[in-house]
Amino acid sequence: MLKEEKQKTMDKVARNYYDMLYSQHNQLQREEREKYYHHHEDLGLSLPHSFKDMMTMFEESQRNSYPYPELQNVDEQPQCGEIPEVYVGSYRKRTTVTTVDNVWDHVLVESLVAVNLENYNKVPVIGKVLEKKDNEFTIHYWKGSWNKKWEPWLHSERPWTDVLPKECVYLAAFTLNEGDKLSADTKRQMKSFLNGGQNQ
């Protein structure tokens, strides 16, 4: 008995709420029509009574057929249903480069590495390792682009070198293809990192 009374109360509350919304909607429509009527009267025009009667009948038919949502018995619904996991934000594919230490193990002298430098997150920066120490290395930068060939970068006719900490390396032990260009797999890993992948 209590269960039925509870359901009736819930139905009544819901219907009262939708009645209120519908009433507000009708009030706005009525105000717009009044403006329309007064506008015609100001111009010396008049609307036929049949038109007004037709609008009244239309309102009544809408009122009688106004759909209420199908209400379910709240007691039959689980209190804590299983909520599907929702992912918000842009999707970022995980990079195959995992940790700095793991990458550092593959950094070898005379091999190519990709490094992460400030303000260079749109284009890759690569170079050849000239010397490797415990926590830093000497790199000879190469110049090129995503789809063009790469070659050693000279500055004042001398190799452009730099000493960087090991944390700068995010990809190692890769080679260029026959045209001295980045392979598709190498570009995929680089773009994954530059687009948000993180060394962990």
pLDDT digits (tens, 9 = 90+) for 156-173: 889 999 999 999 999 998
Residue 101 near residue 174 (C-beta atoms within 8 A): no
How buried is 164 (Cβ within 10 angstroms: 0-12 exposed, 13-18 middle, 19+ buried)? Answer: middle
Low-confidence ranges of the chain (pLDDT < 50): 66, 68-72, 74-99, 198-200
What H or E segment, with its residue span, contains residue 61? helix 49-64
The SS3 of residue 70 is: coil
pLDDT tens profile 27-49: 766 776 666 555 555 555 555 55
What does each C-alpha distance from 26 to 30, 50, 104, 120, 163 come to in angstroms? Answer: 6, 20, 71, 60, 75
pLDDT on residue 87: 36
pLDDT on residue 187: 95
pLDDT on residue 196: 79
pLDDT on residue 85: 41
CA angle 42, 45, 46 (to 5 degrees): 110
Q: Which pTM value belongs to this model?
A: 0.49
